[in-house]
Amino acid sequence: MTDSDTDTRLSGRQKSTAEDADAARDVVTSVVDNVEQVIVGHHDEVEHILTALLGRGHVLLEDVPGVGKTMLARSVAQSFDGTFKRVQFTPDLLPSDVTGVNVYNQKTETFEFRPGPVFANVVLGDEINRAPPKTQSALLEAMEERQVSVDGDTHEVPQPYTVIATQNTVERDRTYQLPMAELDRFMKKLRLGYPERGEETDMLDRVVGSHPIETLSPVVTLENFRKARETAAGVTVDESVRDYVTRLAQYTRRHAELGASPRGTIAALRAAQGRAILDGREYVIPDDIQTEATVVFPHRIRTESAESTPRAIVDEALEAVPVE
């Protein structure tokens, strides 16, 4: 797993100070508040997406249609003045539809690269499970490598870069289910779910008339957001926390056919760093790990029996594995 803007050393090159952490926290909270002008309810999920962003991870949303996934992704992007693109995956979508194509410019007699929707700060890949495997790979390559190759040329994606992919749970035919190896690349998997009744009414209240997203303006600069991400990378991760996460992962490997991979542990630690920032700390505590574990691990765990679902195993792990 490569990551171009930081190395896999979680402590980063520089330890973040408390002031840095405060600054980063302000950035994040203002984005959250901003987003919540548009999105009603789903406060936890919004926070999860933001912490994933801070932790340089991608998010998979699994949900029923029409609960506002697009709105959510778009408002996040708009809050920090970043670009936003949406890709609707269909069974006949080609990879080039995702990555972009080289187009021949008759005037200059050269091929110009027309970037596909994958080049944006926040990319929403809708119904990723409907696309053919090759097309999925194109997106996954961009997520993983932070660059795409078209006709031999490589083009880098912008920074910061986050992919929010969605899978519908209501399917008559389960087609092209994302295989486990690919699921592993998403830092978190979230479910939005239908809003509470009060929230739904509230939402309807808001969207009658012009949709608030039209008027949503950025509240932090791209630069500040990037800085916040760096601060997150510099959050202190003590040996004991690393050890704790490893033991959690080991528990899942022991009690499921397929447990959390090392990639999963790294993802958990990065997400925890983001969570620490959100909580106003420049160091990770086990509580951060516990909060993130419930969305970072389950999609990496495969169980065969109906009695223990992946989520159940993670809950068991959180209960049984000693914190210190």
Binding interface with another protein (CB under 8 A): 70, 85-88, 90-94, 97, 117, 130, 133, 172-177, 179-181, 236, 238, 240-241, 254-258, 281-287, 290, 302-305, 307, 317-323
Closer CB to another protein, residue 109 or residue 304?
304
Closer CB to another protein, residue 24 or residue 220?
24
Phi and psi at residue 124, to the nearest 5°? -105, 115
Q: How far is the CB of 198 from another protein (least distance, A)?
A: 27
Closer CB to another protein, residue 43 or residue 254?
254
Closer CB to another protein, residue 52 or residue 301?
301
Give residue 27's region: left, alpha or beta (phi > 0; psi -120 to 50): alpha
Name the residue among 80, 102, 91, 78 with its Cα closest to residue 155: 102
Closer CB to another protein, residue 199 or residue 280?
280
Q: How far is the CB of 192 from another protein (least distance, A)?
A: 19
Q: How far is the CB of 281 from another protein (least distance, A)?
A: 8
Q: How far is the CB of 287 from another protein (least distance, A)?
A: 5
Distance (Å, whole) CA 156 – CA 149: 9
Closer CB to another protein, residue 220 or residue 266?
266
Q: How far is the CB of 86 from another protein (least distance, A)?
A: 5
Phi and psi at residue 126, to the nearest 5°? -85, 135
In this structure, is the dihedral angle defined by the CA atoms of residues 90, 158, 36 and 207, taken in order, positive or negative?
A: negative
Q: How far is the CB of 117 from another protein (least distance, A)?
A: 4
